[in-house]
């Protein structure tokens, strides 16, 4: 019940202003704020939905990874596992982009002179995190998978070579992701 009160509070008579910044006076108690703007409510709902989608996508990615590992060369099971992982990543990216769009629209309509630079920077950081977090998870999963392939190669040179390539590319991917995140944070940190 507390979750419902946080997302969609019970509205009582209160002061209203124009536009998306309508202020709703809420029932007090339970540590809830006494006022909530429409824009804050929209952002809270978007963040809540994004959290659920991120959790479901993470579970789907792990499930797809486990399916891929235990497929043991069965092409149909391997293809199904890859499809699950791909759809989970696409769903996560679409949800992240939708959350960014909601934040941008709320910013544009609630700020009379347009978005403040700090809000735009926050939106850019959010976009970078939405893109880099799943990429890092995939690269880490590829690293683990490469280690698994190497341990189970059983002296087969082609499997060992494939495992080594997977490990090298996963490490390169992690390095690129880390450098990209560092560059974005440093550049944004240098902005006034």
Among 24, 30, 25, CA closest to 6: 30
Lowest mean pLDDT among 1-5, 104-108, 134-138, 149-153: 1-5
Residue 89 phi/psi, 5-degree rounding, is -65, -45
Q: How many residues does the chain have?
A: 192
Residue 86 phi/psi, 5-degree rounding, is -60, -45
CA distance 42 to 38: 6
Q: 177 to each of 10, 47, 67, 132, how far by Cα in Å?
A: 43, 24, 26, 6
Band of pLDDT at residue 192, cut at 50, 70 and 90: low
Q: What is the mean pLDDT of residues 179-184?
A: 83
Provide the edge-to-edge strand list for the sheet that holds 35-37.
Answer: 11-12, 23-26, 35-37
Is pLDDT of 56 > 50?
yes
Q: What is the mean pLDDT of residues 85-99?
A: 82
* Ramachandran quadrant class, 30 (left: phi over 0; alpha: psi -120 to 50; beta: rest): left
Is pLDDT of 150 > 60?
yes
Residue predicted with more confidence, 116 or 80? 80
Is pLDDT of 158 > 70?
yes
Band of pLDDT at residue 83, cut at 50, 70 and 90: very high
Q: What is the mean pLDDT of residues 128-141?
A: 80
Residue 149 phi/psi, 5-degree rounding, is -60, -40
Q: What is the mean pLDDT of residues 147-161?
A: 88
pLDDT of 126 reads: 73
Q: Which residue has the tokens 């992240």?
A: 96
């Amino acid at each position: 019940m507390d979750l419902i009160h946080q997302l969609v509070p019970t509205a009582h008579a209160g002061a209203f202003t124009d536009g998306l910044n309508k202020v709703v006076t809420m029932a007090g108690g339970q540590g809830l704020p006494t006022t909530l703007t429409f824009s804050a409510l929209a952002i809270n709902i978007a963040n809540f939905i994004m959290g659920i989608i991120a959790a479901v996508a993470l579970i789907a990615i792990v499930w797809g990874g486990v399916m891929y590992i235990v497929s043991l060369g069965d092409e149909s099971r391997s293809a199904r596992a890859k499809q699950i992982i791909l759809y989970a990543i696409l769903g996560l990216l679409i949800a992240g982009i939708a959350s960014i769009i909601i934040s941008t629209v709320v910013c544009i309509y609630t700020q009379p002179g347009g978005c403040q630079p700090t809000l735009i920077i926050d939106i850019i950081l959010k976009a970078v995190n939405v893109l880099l977090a799943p990429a890092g998870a995939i690269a880490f999963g590829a690293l683990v998978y490469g280690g698994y392939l190497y341990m189970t190669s059983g002296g087969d040179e082609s499997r060992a070579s494939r495992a080594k390539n997977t490990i090298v590319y996963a490490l390169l991917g992690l390095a690129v992701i880390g450098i990209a995140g560092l560059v974005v944070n440093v550049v944004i940190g240098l902005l006034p």
